[in-house]
Amino acid sequence: MENVRKKRGLICFLFMLAMMLALPIGASAATKITMNRSIKYAKKGYTIFVYNKMKGKNIKVYKRTNPRKGSYCTIEYGAAMVVNTSKLRTGKKYTMLPVYLNNRTRNGKMVTGYVKVSQVGIKRVNMKKASTNKTIRKAIYYGFRHLGTPFLLGAGDIDNQIDCANFVKAIYEYAGKSMPYPHTDYLQQVCYEIPKSRLKPGDLVFYLKNDTSGPIDHVGVYIGSGLMINSSGHYGDTYPQGGITVKRINYGNRKPVRCMRIRGLS
């Protein structure tokens, strides 16, 4: 009888071990983090971003901390969202992080969604002090204040609809810097090329039309920490996938083909 009990115990142990090994990476309920450092930096004026780190995969933005309650949308690889740090507490461990849906409001307040900790990376940028250059600093923060504005090719109204080149023109002219006709060709003409390793906030990053082929037809503004702000509508998506958004400089299937600095700004 004793041997039977031992065998049953061993079988049970082996079964549980097999089940644990069968779990996909990130599926474990033990995937938890504290946000102590992020809370500390948020109090100093930094904006905390989370970005989709799952290469080749869109991730869901859920309606509640319980994924079974459904989702609002998805974000592609490299797409970033602002963390709602008002919902974070020092010392608490999180499996889901609260993020703002900048294009959605409820009762006059911005809607909060949730992303899985196991699927995101975390970055921070002081959006009010992104650069020591006053013009760049003012331009970046002005663009940041308009997160969620929809994309429309040829449009130039930053409050309603705007495309990528018009976005760059709008934020820099708001900051007092004269810019050329809003087209990627003309924007390149007022810049000089720099290595990717020398990118600083305010620099422009250019992308190809078809992700990996075709002419240059997309541009964003580097804001630091490997992130850029742009107005994108490559696939007709709205925020947080399209419109005025923050993304990693490598996002979706795209990588910058030119990194450039605007003449007269350093």
Share of the chain above pLDDT 70, in %: 88
DSSP string computed for 175-187: TT----SSSHHHH
Mean pLDDT of 114-118: 98
pLDDT per residue as tens digits for the range 224-263: 999 999 999 866 789 999 999 999 999 999 999 999 999 9
- Both 160 and 112 in a single domain? no
DSSP one-letter code for 202: T
- Both 239 and 155 in a single domain? yes
* Residue 17 in this model has a pLDDT that exceeds 60: no
- Both 212 and 185 in a single domain? yes
pLDDT computed for residue 24 by the predictor: 44
List phi, psi (to 5°) of 158.
-65, -20
Reduced to 3 states (helix: H, G, I; strand: E, B; else coil), residue 162 is strand
| Confidence bin at 1 (pLDDT 50/70/90) | low
Mean pLDDT of 88-110: 96
* 44-83: b (≥16 Cβ within 10 Å) or e: eebbbbbbbebeeeebbbbbeeeeeeeebbebbbbbbbbb
Supply the mean pLDDT for the chain: 91
Distances (CA, A) of 223 to 100, 200, 211, 249: 19, 7, 21, 10
pLDDT computed for residue 6 by the predictor: 54
**Residue found by looking up tokens 């699927």 in the block:** 119
- Secondary structure of 204-265 as H, E, C letters: EEEEECCCCCCCEEEEEEEEECCEEEEEECCCCCCCCCCEEEEEECCECCECCCEEEEECCC
- Both 133 and 248 in a single domain? yes
- Both 110 and 155 in a single domain? no
Q: Is 196 within the bounds of a domain?
A: yes
Q: Is 137 within the bounds of a domain?
A: yes
pLDDT computed for residue 14 by the predictor: 53
Rounded to whole angstroms, the Cα distance separating 172 from 232 reads 18
Of 23-37, 201-215, 224-238, least confident by mean pLDDT is 23-37
Rounded to whole angstroms, the Cα distance separating 112 from 122 reads 17
Q: What is the CATH number of the domain that holds 212?
A: 3.90.1720.10
DSSP one-letter code for 128: G
**Global confidence as pTM:** 0.87
Q: Is 24 within the bounds of a domain?
A: no
- Both 148 and 252 in a single domain? yes
pLDDT computed for residue 82 by the predictor: 99
Of 15-29, 134-148, 237-251, least confident by mean pLDDT is 15-29
Q: Is 15 within the bounds of a domain?
A: no
Instruction: Find residue 151's DSSP bridge partners.
Output: 162
Residue range of the domain that includes 86: 33-125
Rounded to whole angstroms, the Cα distance separating 242 from 76 reads 10
pLDDT computed for residue 11 by the predictor: 56
Total domains present in the chain? 2
pLDDT per residue as tens digits for the range 121-132: 999 999 999 999
* Residue 18 in this model has a pLDDT that exceeds 60: no
pLDDT computed for residue 210 by the predictor: 83
Distances (CA, A) of 67 to 23, 50, 61, 86, 118: 18, 18, 9, 21, 13
| Confidence bin at 49 (pLDDT 50/70/90) | very high
| Confidence bin at 173 (pLDDT 50/70/90) | very high
- Both 253 and 134 in a single domain? yes
Q: What phi-psi label fits residue 139: left (phi over 0), alpha (psi between -120 and 50 degrees) or beta?
A: alpha
- Both 147 and 171 in a single domain? yes
